[in-house]
Amino acid sequence: MTAPLPPLLVQALRDERVRRLGAQPLVGIVMGSSSDWPTMSAAAQILEQFAVPYEALVVSAHRTPDLMFAYAEWAKPRGLQAIIAGAGGAAHLPGMIAAKTTLPVLGVPVPSRALSGLDSLYSIVQMPKGVPVATFAIGEAGAANAALFAVAMLAGSNRLLGEALAAFRQEQVAAVDAMSLAEAS
């Protein structure tokens, strides 16, 4: 796209609204509310650990639908390579983002107050055939794994990232090696 970014997207991407690592994000993390951040920050932490440039911001499917569409439409032209989208309840954000971009969309079901995130999970995982959303576990584990999955995708064309991912896995081997039940009561 050669047209300028729509004003509502420029407005949404201003520094006060966005958490960023690096000037040119490769991964966008979006969520329906700032109340999702305690969950979705687990994705940001992983990307920071792997030094993957990212941006994180609130984009609501039902409260800011125009922004959601603009964000999705401009994600690829802006250089993003994947979008991690988290939402709770009737969680249509990941699916609607996926409807407007061919970038991989990684969906994170955020725990909801009424149904503990089962509603979020079903809303995200049950995409009809043709427009996929890769759906992860409910909550922080899902957010972290979505980021690890994004790292794995980026590692396909980045050898150093691949090595960092292998080292991360090796740390988990070492952690299990260090586990002992010998003194457990």
- C-beta closer to ligand RP5: residue 60 or 158: 60
Name residues contacting ligand RP5, limited to 69-128 (CB under 6 A).
Answer: 87-89, 110
Could you say which residues in the range 126-145 bind ligand RP5, by CB under 6 A?
none
Question: Which is nearest to 133 in space by CA: 154, 109, 112?
Answer: 109
Pick the closer one to ligand RP5 by CB: 32 or 139. Answer: 32
Nearer to ligand RP5, 33 or 49 (CB): 33
Per the document, the length of the chain is 185
Number of residues this chain uses to bind ligand RP5 (CB under 6 A) = 10
Least spacing, CB of residue 87 vs ligand RP5, in Å: 4
What are the structure tokens assigned to 97, written together?
């983002």
Q: Which of 63, 75, 141, 145 is nearest to 106 (CA)?
A: 145
In DSSP notation, 31-55 reads: ES-GGGHHHHHHHHHHHHHTT--EE
Min dist CB 124 to ligand RP5, Å, is 11
Site for ligand RP5 in 19-48 (CB under 6 A): 31-33, 35-36
- Computed from CA positions of residues 53, 142, 59, 154, in that sequence, does the dihedral angle turn out positive or negative? positive
Minimum Å gap between C-beta 48 and ligand RP5 is 22
Residue closer to ligand RP5, measured from CB, 52 or 95: 95
SS3 27: strand
Q: How many CB atoms lie within 10 A of CB 50?
A: 20
DSSP-derived secondary structure for 104-118: -EEEEEEPPTTTTTH
Nearest approach in angstroms of CB 153 to ligand RP5 is 24
Task: For residue 161, state whether it binds ligand RP5 (rule: CB under 6 A).
Answer: no
